[in-house]
Amino acid sequence: MKKRAMKARPIMGSSVASSPGDDLPRVSLVTPSYNAAPYLRAAIDSVLGQDYPNIEYLIMDGGSTDGTVELLEEFGDKLRWISEKDDGQADALARGFEQIDGAILGWLNADDVLKPGAIRAAVDALRAHPAAALIYGNADFIDAAGQTIGPCTVVEPYSLHRLIHYGDYIIQPAAFFSRSAYESVGGLDKTLNWAMDWDLWIRLARDYDVLYIDKDLASYRWLGSNKTAEGGFARLEEVEAVAGRYGCKGLPAYFRLEKARLYAARGKQNLKQRKFVPMLGDLAKAGATIFSARSSAKCLFSPHVWRNYRTAKVLYRQVAELGSELP
Higher pLDDT, 241 or 229: 241
The contacts of residue 79 (CB under 8 Å, 6+ apart) are 6, 8, 11, 44, 47, 48, 57, 58, 59, 72
Q: Which of 155, 163, 113, 120 lies closest to 136, judged by CA?
A: 155
Per-residue pLDDT, 12: 37
**pTM to 2 decimal places:** 0.90
CB 17 within 8 A of CB 100: no
d(CA 136, CA 143): 22
Number of H helices, E strands in the chain: 13, 10
Res 6 pLDDT > 60: no
Res 159 pLDDT > 50: yes
CB 109 within 8 A of CB 187: no
d(CA 309, CA 322): 20
Half-sphere exposure of 35 (CA within 13 A, CB side): 7
Strand positions, DSSP E, 15-146: 27-33, 55-61, 80-83, 104-107, 113-114, 132-142
How far from each other are the two terminal CA atoms of the chain, in whole angstroms?
Answer: 32
* Section 151-180 average pLDDT: 97
Per-residue pLDDT, 327: 36
- How do residues 88-126 score in pLDDT, each as one tens digit? 999 999 999 999 999 999 999 999 999 999 999 999 999
Q: How large is the C-alpha radius of gyration of the chain?
A: 20
Q: Which residues pair with 113 in a beta bridge?
A: 219
* Section 1-7 average pLDDT: 52
